[in-house]
Amino acid sequence: MDKVKTSATVAGEAPRRHGAMELTVAVLGLGGIGAVAAGYLQATGRNRIIACARQPLERIVIEQSHEELAVRIQAITDPKDAGPVDWVLLATKAHQTPSAAPWLAGLCHRSTRVAVLQNGVGQVERTAPWVGEATVVPAVVSYSGERVGADRVVLRQPATFDLAVQADPDGRAFSDLFAGTALRIFISDNLSALAWRKLLINSVANPITALTLQRLGVFRRDDVRALAETMLEEAVAVARADGVRVTEDDISQILGTLRDIPADMTTSMHLDRLAGRALELDALNGAIVAAGERLGIAVPLNRALLTLLRAAQSEEAIVPRPDNTGHPDDGPSPGGAPAAFAPAGPLTERNRQTAPAGTV
């Protein structure tokens, strides 16, 4: 049976288990998701936490409702300074994983576990080529971390859990890392279904907002919801052919969420396109198209939107951007799904802060 580990305690109050050894945990990618994870892990005081960041960082401040948690953090900015660790939390964008190879090479050894805090399905297959003999631990993220400053992140927890992992020894070891923090860990017997449900909502919300350059209010339109419904039907057919338990009820729930979500919210892909950054295509609609090809399922609408996004990105790439620095994605980055929606509007200084940073 699936279990949710919840904690109402303040980060840092959970005592160390008798005889437990201190672990070294590296958080690679200090965007919204990585910053929240690193901050809460540091606050427990149980383990040594290393932030692998683009810029020097002395502290992380997490805002949640009317509370604030500030912790000092050890950060390194050069992969040459990275040594083997017990855990890596990989919190870059999915398409940035290959560029994180120098970091992963230094951090991973045969006893390392690499928890993948990224969008998409097939996390093990996507990550394994870059981590040597380390063990890949897939995870599903449902909290939203919005970077609003160099060292400040706003946490939102709209779902009943914040991180989900498989019900196996590696998943339970991951859950133990967060014991006593504000992040709720869901230990699931069917993680692949959770990953697919998250992919479903991302596969319509992200491309439609990115292509129309509109906020999520665009889903108030009946014709846009009809388009999204057909796209979701394609994706559900692929998921079922892949042995994943998803139904028409999932489609109805997603369409209801998109209809009712505040109209002034938007997606990370929308902000990425506004900022001229690389789009997370292969892990979202690209994953649906690839799975459809493998399983013999036609997905014409998902393929069409993927083609249009690639064309838009190719045209925009003609203009060089200054933020493609080749470092971990530690810039402002909204994350999570369906709560991976950041405040929208023109690319003001505030929204530049919430837009994801350059590629790794």
Per-residue pLDDT of 267-326, as tens digits, reads 888 888 988 889 999 999 999 999 999 999 999 999 999 999 999 987 665 444 444 444
Whole-model pTM over 0.75: yes
According to the model, what pLDDT value does residue 3 have?
47
Q: Give the long-range contacts of residues 155-158, CB within 8 A, separation 24 or more.
A: 155/36, 155/62, 155/63, 155/64, 155/182, 156/64, 156/336, 156/339, 157/64, 157/182, 157/184, 157/339, 158/338, 158/339
Question: pLDDT > 70: what percent of the chain?
Answer: 82
Task: Band the pLDDT of 329: cuts 50, 70, 90.
Answer: low
According to the model, what pLDDT value does residue 316 have?
60
The rounded mean pLDDT for the chain is: 84
- Of 91-105, 125-139, 250-264, 344-358, the one with minimum mean pLDDT is 344-358
- Of 146-155, 274-283, 325-334, the one with minimum mean pLDDT is 325-334
State how far the Cα of 281 lies from the Cα of 120, in Å rounded to an integer: 10
Residue 263 has pLDDT above 50, yes or no: yes
User: 3, 5, 93, 198: which is the annotated catalytic residue?
Assistant: 198
User: Which 3 state secondary structure label does DSSP give 196?
Assistant: helix
Which among 360, 290, 335, 283 has a CA at the least distance from the CA of 123? 283
According to the model, what pLDDT value does residue 20 have?
66
pLDDT (mean) for 218-246: 95
Residue 99 has pLDDT above 50, yes or no: yes
According to the model, what pLDDT value does residue 334 have?
36
According to the model, what pLDDT value does residue 315 have?
67
Q: Is 198 considered catalytic here?
A: yes
